[in-house]
A and B are shown apart, each in its own frame.
Chain A
């Protein structure tokens, strides 16, 4: 298990809070995503939920470490 601090924007912040710690049973974005959905099941209903690691979009196979900047990105709607 590792603890990872995550930050959230938009609807994810409304659901889970601006910043919180997750206990992640693994070392990948996919493991973090699973821990997130276990803690906040309603996030699974969003049309999409991307994870950014150190300001780059990251897929589920990408590694994540406790000191990475991890941000949850719901559907974007700029413009």
Chain B
């Protein structure tokens, strides 16, 4: 299951979807909205996704992970829209026979998701807002007096 949703993520459903009777481990990563960034208070985050491609790119990551580790089940759910601190933004669940590969596969999936999947977030502070990772390069400028 790969899901992009505006509704709160149903964490037990994600875990249940990943689970397998043959598995001895289900590893679950829950990404939550932190209340600070750059030493400022985060009021909320705005997430948006290029949904069709986000699902396709996530599927490629899962396929890669399934080649590297013997996955017995998996599920990924990512929330979009407005999220406040403490809310759950993403859940990755991976089931494997033994625990070691479940940790490794779960970390691989969330790391690659953050690198490749076209999902974008904007941090909204009390005094402004900023697209994460997308701030313009610093331009060379005349020294300030």
- When the two chains form their complex, are residues A78 and B48 in contact, meaning their CB atoms are under 8 A apart? no
Interface pair A76/B137, CB less than 8 Å apart = no
Contact B137 A47 (CB under 8 A): yes
How near does chain A come to B87, taking the closest CB pair, in angstroms? 13
* Cα distance, A76 to B54, chains bound together (Å): 11
Chain B: how many interface residues by the 8 Å CB criterion? Answer: 31
Q: Mark A50-79, 1 if CB is under 8 A from B, else 0.
A: 001001100000000000000101111111
Select one of A9, A11, A42, A46 contacting B50, CB under 8 A. Answer: A9
How many positions in chain A have a CB within 8 Å of any CB in the partner chain?
A: 19
Provide the residues of chain B in CB contact with A73, threshold 8 Å: 50, 118
Of B89, B116, B134, B136, most A-chain CB atoms within 10 Å? B134
Partner-A contacts on B (CB < 8 A): 31, 47-50, 52-54, 56, 78, 89-90, 110, 113-122, 131-137, 139
User: Other CB < 8 Å A-B pairs besides A45-B137, A52-B118, A76-B133, 16 of them?
Assistant: A9-B50, A10-B48, A10-B120, A14-B131, A45-B136, A47-B133, A52-B53, A71-B53, A73-B118, A74-B120, A76-B116, A76-B117, A77-B120, A77-B134, A78-B121, A79-B90
